Amino acid sequence: MARCSVCGEVVNVDDKFCSSCGAALVREIKNNASASEKKSNNPQSVQNKTGTVKNRKKKISTEEVKNTKSLSSTKLFYLILFLILIGAVLVYSSGIFDPAPPAVSSQQADLNNPHAGVDLNHLEQISSLETTIKKNPKDFQSLLQLAHLLNDSGLKERAIEKYNLYLKQFPKEADVWVDMGVCYFETGRSAEAMSSMEKALKINPKHQIANLNLGIVNMSAGNTDKALGYWKKAIEIDSTNEIGQKAKELIKTH
């Protein structure tokens, strides 16, 4: 709405002439337009626009800071991951996770032993020996041969059974105590393995294979000092043969 500049009557902005006095309303509309232009040129309006631009700039600046922090966090993450990988490689290469070395039976050390290297292909021979022992329970040599054959074929529990039967008749045979101890160790029964091999050392303190194997069993059980002590004894007994060389190697690697 607007007012006529002549008579002061309220008229519509769209009217060209005053309905009361008939005066032209063009000038009044221009004045209104002028007022509108003044409003658009108002410093406060410009200030508001400027403020909007400033706020936009401030917002962009905050996002840049966030991006910078994000990049820094990513670099730190990869640095920590790299350090963890390096640590894992060092721990693995130190040999901590290496499996315990295999124990050595007394018959393996004897290159002339007829039972060395026997496997499951000799089931027929095992069956034959069992038949012989059933017919003659006092054939203790066949009993010992059967125990060795079962041991070499991987039938450790059955070998332990036969070794025990033999040792009841011949408890002073250190080699047999060692061989039975190896069977215990290979079936995860470390306590029985130690006990069996210690009995061999009571019979013969200089039994080199018993010392070597007791070192292996104790090392697998976490008894490092005892293990090193047994290996040193094995070297003292004979440092030049295969058993002595193996003891030296075990000391170096542990």
Exposed e or buried b for every residue in 52-79, given b needs 16+ CB within 10 A? eeeeeeeeeeeeeeeeeeeeeeeeeeee
Report pLDDT for 1: 65
Beta strands 10-11 and 2-3: pairing type?
antiparallel
| Average pLDDT of span 39-63 | 46
Three-state secondary structure call for residue 10: strand
Report pLDDT for 110: 46
Residue 231 has pLDDT above 60, yes or no: yes
Residue 213 has pLDDT above 60, yes or no: yes
Residue 239 has pLDDT above 80, yes or no: yes
List, for residues 142-201, the tens digit of each pLDDT value. 999 999 999 999 999 999 999 999 999 999 999 999 999 999 999 999 999 999 999 999
- 190 against 19, higher pLDDT: 190
Would you call 86 exposed, middle or buried from its count of C-beta atoms within 10 A (0-12, 13-18, 19+)? exposed
Give Dmax over CA atoms of the chain in angstroms: 150
Residues 6+ apart with CB under 8 A from 176: 106, 144, 147, 163, 166, 167, 170
For the chain, domains (ranges, CATH) are: 2-40 (no CATH), 106-253 (1.25.40.10)
CB half-sphere exposure, 22, CA atoms < 13 A? 0
